[in-house]
Amino acid sequence: MAEFTMPSLGADMQAGTLVAWLKKPGETVKKGDIIAEVETDKGVIEIESFMTGVLERTLVEPLTKVPVGTVLAIIREEGKPATVSQPVVPAAGTGRLKVSPAAKQLAAELSVDLSAVQGTGPDGAISRADVEAAAAQAPLAPSPAPRAGEAGDRLLRMRQTIAAAMARSKREIPHYYVGTTIDMERALTWLAEENLKRPVKERLLYGVLLLKAVALALREVPELNAVWKGNEVVRSEARHVGVAISLRQGGLIAPALHDTDKQSLGDLMRNFRDLVNRARAGALRSSELSDPTITVTSLGEQGVESVYAVIYPPQVAIVGFGKLVERPWIVDKQVVPRSVLTATLSADHRVSDGHRGGLFLAAVDRLLQEPEGL
């Protein structure tokens, strides 16, 4: 018997609204099956089952907003007997909230719903920091159906969520930054030849080479592939690269490409395209939001040459790529034109230092000089 709870789909998510159940009580669910949809400030997210079993009962009605961690349903292992139904009360609805006056005032200024904030102080008291972290939690629409101004409201909440996460990052994470310029000539030449062999639907974007190079370089500098939990770093064995994707209505989201280092370039391109299309259609899955172990952001198409990104907590590193530019480059003592781009690393000094960060960027550079090996 296991509790299926409202997941945390980002460091600053405090609550979500259950939009719909996609499975009924009594139905068999497999690990990875989509069993519910939840609305967050990142849009409507498909929530996957973390186990195989039978959906025994649901405990939260659709269109109810509940804090992260609230039990939404009970999943029973197949073959095990059903249990007697027991009501579960959402934590947000119990007792009187302990809120400091300063936090209360900040909540009013930021339109934060205090009942959905999880306090981290003594006895769950809500502090200013808790309110700041939950700044995105303005009351959600009672219905998922489109209404006037909804897109603007969602964009505002997403902006508040980003602001809260980035403020927390700058407050808590001692960033350091290193950068390097990478000669992309070999990679682009190889890519052009490779794409000649591929039908339109299977052609690669050069961004896929960058993602794969980052994922493989993490094998050499694994401390960058981690999350900060409590007071310690927890390394991840899997390399799930989060990709920053700008949304057409504004804002951005950075879902994971699972096991980026293990995928062929063709699979990675197919999955990358699918991820971008689903992100923009508002059809991401919960694991894609909760699993990134590092993030890659590219602003080259916006004309930016160097990106000094802010780490997305609880991750400990983010890689930025700039625009491809033609530059004079010295090869065999001759000045030749080359397509180059600037790669930067923003990393958490609690976890690594510039020496290791430099080795990571050197590995990315080296891997891109041998594109056929990616």
Partner 1 sequence: MTPKLTCDEITTTVLRALGEIAPEADLAAIKPDVSFRDQLDIDSMDFLNFVIAVHEALRVEIPEADYPKLITLNGCVAYLSALLAEKTSA
Q: What is the closest distance, in whole angstroms, from the C-beta atom of residue 304 to partner 1 in the complex?
A: 13
214-225 exposure pattern, b = at least 16 Cβ within 10 A, e = fewer = bbbbbeebbbbb
The single-letter DSSP state of residue 301 is G
Q: What is the closest distance, in whole angstroms, from the C-beta atom of residue 26 to partner 1 in the complex?
A: 38
Q: Which helix (H) or strand (E) holds 164?
A: helix 150-172
Question: How many residues contact partner 1, by CB under 8 A?
Answer: 17
Q: Which of residues 343-372 bind partner 1 (CB under 8 A)?
A: none
Distance from C-alpha of 49 to C-alpha of 24, rounded to nearest angstrom: 13
Is 161 in a helix, a strand, or coil?
helix
Q: What is the closest distance, in whole angstroms, from the C-beta atom of residue 178 to partner 1 in the complex?
A: 26
Asked if 360 and 220 touch (Cβ cutoff 8 Å), the reply is yes
Measured from the CB atom, the residue of 200 and 330 that comes closer to partner 1 is 200
C-alpha torsion angle, residues 257, 260, 262, 266 (rounded to 10): 80
Distance from C-alpha of 177 to C-alpha of 346, rounded to nearest angstrom: 5
Q: What is the closest distance, in whole angstroms, from the C-beta atom of residue 115 to partner 1 in the complex?
A: 34
Measured from the CB atom, the residue of 40 and 298 that comes closer to partner 1 is 298
Answer yes or no whether residue 186 interacts with partner 1 by CB under 8 A: no
Measured from the CB atom, the residue of 109 and 301 that comes closer to partner 1 is 301
Answer yes or no whether residue 52 interacts with partner 1 by CB under 8 A: no
Pick one of 5, 111, 115, 195: the residue that binds partner 1 (CB under 8 A). 195
One DSSP character per residue, 1-59 reads -EEEEPPP-STT--EEEEEEESS-TT-EE-TT-EEEEEEETTEEEEEEPSS-EEEEEE-
Measured from the CB atom, the residue of 199 and 230 that comes closer to partner 1 is 199
State the pairing for strand pair 34-40/43-48: antiparallel
Q: What is the closest distance, in whole angstroms, from the C-beta atom of residue 200 to partner 1 in the complex?
A: 5
Which listed range, 37-45, 84-92, 191-199, 348-356, lies at the site for partner 1 (CB under 8 A)?
191-199
Measured from the CB atom, the residue of 109 and 193 that comes closer to partner 1 is 193
Q: What is the closest distance, in whole angstroms, from the C-beta atom of residue 151 to partner 1 in the complex?
A: 9
Which listed range, 58-66, 202-210, 215-223, 288-296, lies at the site for partner 1 (CB under 8 A)?
202-210
Distance from C-alpha of 99 to C-alpha of 112, rounded to nearest angstrom: 12
Structure tokens at 113: 């719903």
Which listed range, 80-88, 203-211, 285-293, 328-336, lies at the site for partner 1 (CB under 8 A)?
203-211
Answer yes or no whether residue 197 interacts with partner 1 by CB under 8 A: no
Q: What is the closest distance, in whole angstroms, from the C-beta atom of residue 278 to partner 1 in the complex?
A: 12
Q: Which of residues 235-294 bind partner 1 (CB under 8 A)?
A: 246, 248-249, 272-273, 276-277
Answer yes or no whether residue 205 interacts with partner 1 by CB under 8 A: yes
Pick one of 84, 145, 148, 196: the residue that binds partner 1 (CB under 8 A). 196
Answer yes or no whether residue 207 interacts with partner 1 by CB under 8 A: yes
Return the amino acid letter for 99.
Answer: V
Structure tokens at 107: 């909540």
Measured from the CB atom, the residue of 326 and 332 that comes closer to partner 1 is 326
Distance from C-alpha of 271 to C-alpha of 274, rounded to nearest angstrom: 5
State the pairing for strand pair 317-321/294-298: parallel
Measured from the CB atom, the residue of 170 and 198 that comes closer to partner 1 is 198
Q: At what angle do helices 206-220 and 185-196 cross, to 10 degrees?
A: 120
Pick one of 27, 301, 353, 372: the residue that binds partner 1 (CB under 8 A). 301
Answer yes or no whether residue 43 interacts with partner 1 by CB under 8 A: no
Beta strands in the chain (DSSP E): 2-5, 15-21, 28-29, 34-40, 43-48, 53-58, 64-67, 71-76, 175-183, 226-229, 232-235, 241-243, 245-246, 252-253, 256-257, 284-285, 294-298, 317-321, 325-331, 334-348
Chain residues that interact with partner 1, rule: CB under 8 A: 192, 195-196, 199-201, 203, 205, 207, 246, 248-249, 272-273, 276-277, 301
